[in-house]
Amino acid sequence: MGMEMAAVKKWVIFFAGILCAILIGDTLSNVIVSITGITGSVGFVVNFVLYAVFFFGVLYALEKLFHIEFFGFNRD
């Protein structure tokens, strides 16, 4: 039972971290684009780039703060 709960906990943390990164990245990129007033295709590209930066930045911060591994890039 303990091994099953550890696996479930690992998946819950994984999905919660991804969801957190999505929400934070989307919110911050939308706020910045709306404050600057960028619209049209340029706004779309800027929003996408900002979203990607914030998304992976949040995932990296969560990995460092909580010592969890999302995608295994640091494996040897």
21 vs 65, higher pLDDT: 21
Q: Which residue has the higher pLDDT, 50 or 13?
A: 50
Please report, for residues 10, 15, 42, 62, the alpha-carbon distance to residue 7 in angstroms, rounded to integers and kept in the order given.
5, 13, 43, 19
Q: Is 50 within a domain?
A: yes
User: Is 17 domain-assigned?
Assistant: no
pTM of the predicted structure, to 2 decimals: 0.80
Spatial distance between the Cα atoms of 28 and 20, rounded to a whole number of angstroms: 12
Closest CA to 14 of 61, 72, 69: 69
24 domain residue, yes or no: no
Encode pLDDT of 16-64 as tens digits: 989 999 999 999 999 999 999 999 999 999 999 999 999 999 998 988 8
**Number of domains making up the chain:** 1
Residue 73 falls within a domain, yes or no?
no
Residue 25 lies in a domain: no
Domain limits at 54?
A: 34-67
Cα–Cα distances in Å, from 9 out to 24, 48, 50, 63?
Answer: 22, 31, 30, 16
